[in-house]
């Protein structure tokens, strides 16, 4: 970039630097670059595209972590429910736990499918992430 006589940046130099940064950002955050794209390894991804951006992959990872965290909270709620009730029986439904959350909390944040709950055993699982 050029400096003017007083040692300040010229408008052309500033615009050129901004254009380079913009092009680099577009390259990184879109499906553009070879390094910014990762192969699809998850069955949860849209099968029409075989590549996802790094940003898309990190969003998917965050939603999966949120699913695991929700399941952990629900399981703790079930244990608390059993400890506070005299019968020590499992709740009849997830809404009976009393976590004070909306029914949306009892769905997977990735696929928006409700969690499976068996009141006989007190087990709650996500169909999308059975290992959680």
Q: What is the pLDDT along the chain (132 residues), one digit of tens a residue?
A: 556 677 777 888 889 999 999 998 887 877 655 444 444 444 444 444 445 677 778 888 888 899 999 999 999 988 888 888 877 788 888 888 877 788 888 999 888 899 999 988 889 999 888 888
Say if CB 128 and CB 111 are below 8 A apart.
Answer: yes
pTM of the model: 0.59
Backbone angles phi, psi at 102, to 5 degrees: -75, 165
């Amino acid at each position: 970039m050029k400096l003017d006589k007083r040692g300040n940046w010229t408008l052309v130099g500033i615009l050129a630097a901004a254009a380079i940064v913009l092009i680099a950002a577009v390259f990184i955050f879109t499906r553009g670059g070879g390094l910014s794209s990762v192969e699809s390894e998850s069955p949860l991804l849209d099968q029409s595209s075989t590549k996802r951006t790094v940003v898309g992959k990190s969003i998917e990872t965050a939603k999966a972590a949120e699913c695991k965290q929700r399941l952990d909270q629900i399981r703790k709620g079930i244990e608390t429910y059993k400890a506070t009730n005299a019968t020590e029986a499992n709740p009849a439904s997830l809404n009976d736990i009393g976590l004070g959350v909306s029914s949306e909390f009892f769905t997977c944040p990735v696929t928006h499918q409700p969690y499976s709950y068996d009141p006989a055993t007190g087990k709650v699982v996500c169909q999308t992430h059975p290992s959680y």
